[in-house]
Amino acid sequence: MTSTVPDRAGKTAATHAETASENGARHDAAPSPQPTVSDLKVPRHVAIIMDGNGRWASSRGLPRSEGHRAGYENLRRVVGAASQLGVEYLTLFAFSTENWDRPNEEVSGILSLAAEVIRVETEELHSNGIRIKHVGRVDRLPQELQDQIGEAVEMTCDNKGMTLGVAFDYGGRYDVVQAIQRMIRDGKSPEDVTEEMVSNYLFTSSVPDPDLVIRTGGEFRISNFLLWQSAYAEFYSSEVYWPDFDGEQLHKAFEVYTRRERRFGRV
């Protein structure tokens, strides 16, 4: 199979055009021919900020809770699509350390939905070889949810398929804080501390850094997600609200990723 590999200047122009159109932004440049991607590069680790549930619901005159439910339905589609495309690690930002500040009703709705997701989906994920990993704090979650998470993680821990990280009560700053706290408790001396050691103390220990961070819902913010881990991740923002971000949209993100040139600070 051959792919059209544009030169560096061509690649930059195409990337700008596709980014602008994908995000619905206006641009005056004449549309440049899109390079064909016949050799799709599938990122090893994809991390997604699932944003836009509320706006998806409001735009349909529905309560926000319906947006979260539609977000749950979509979670199944995207997990299936990512696994089929060969993604090894998929980490989804489901609830941030700041989301506790939302109205009580919304928070308890999301907590109940999380319990439902685990109750209804774990068996099927397990039979599909998916390994579930919780990323974040557990101590502030209701005991029953903590137990459910523990059981789902335990049940699937030996699976060899895609690792599904669920970032629930996760914040990137807190992640670094808890890593430092545990390093101090473990008696590490300052000279011992390396980047590799810090990585190993984060909630994502044993998971490689994300190659691609996707944010749905049109914003261009990292919102305290995987701050340390995303140092060299490619960032992709989609206008599409999370409930509508399906396998086709994921594929589109991978096409853009395929055309990116990753230099990791080198020339």
**β-pairing, 45-49 with 212-215?**
parallel
Among 45, 68, 215, 252, interactor with ligand FPP by CB under 6 A: 68
Which residue is it, tokens 């086709």? Answer: 248
Strand partners, 22: none
Does an H or E element contain 258, and which? helix 247-259
- Minimum CB separation of residue 72 from ligand FPP in Å reads 4
99 in contact with ligand FPP (CB under 6 A): yes
Does an H or E element contain 234, and which? strand 234-237
Among 14, 53, 136, 149, interactor with ligand FPP by CB under 6 A: 53
169 is catalytic: no
237 in contact with ligand FPP (CB under 6 A): no
141 in contact with ligand FPP (CB under 6 A): no
Q: Which is nearer to ligand FPP, 54 or 171 (CB)?
A: 54
99 is catalytic: yes
Which residue is it, tokens 């490689």? Answer: 208
Q: Catalytic residue among 23, 53, 99, 159, which?
A: 99
Which residues, including other chains, have CB under 8 Å from residue 132's CB and lie 6 or more apart? 122, 125, 152, 153, 155, 156, 163, 164, 166
What distance in Å separates the CA atoms of residue 35 and residue 193, rounded to the nearest whole number? 44
What distance in Å separates the CA atoms of residue 159 and residue 22, rounded to the nearest whole number? 36
51 in contact with ligand FPP (CB under 6 A): yes
Please classify residue 65 by burial: count the beta carbons closer than 10 Å to its beta carbon, then call 0-12 exposed, 13-18 middle and 19+ buried: middle
Between residue 180 and residue 209, which ones bind ligand FPP under the rule CB under 6 A? none
- Minimum CB separation of residue 259 from ligand FPP in Å reads 28
Q: 106 near 65, Cβ under 8 Å?
A: yes
Q: Which is nearer to ligand FPP, 90 or 113 (CB)?
A: 113
52 in contact with ligand FPP (CB under 6 A): yes
114 in contact with ligand FPP (CB under 6 A): yes
Q: Which is nearer to ligand FPP, 95 or 201 (CB)?
A: 95
- Minimum CB separation of residue 100 from ligand FPP in Å reads 11
Closest residue to ligand FPP, judged by C-beta, is 54
Q: What is the DSSP letter of 244?
A: G
- Which residues are annotated as catalytic? 51, 99
Positions in the binding site for ligand FPP (CB under 6 A): 50-55, 68, 71-72, 75, 94-95, 99, 110, 113-114, 117, 166, 217, 242
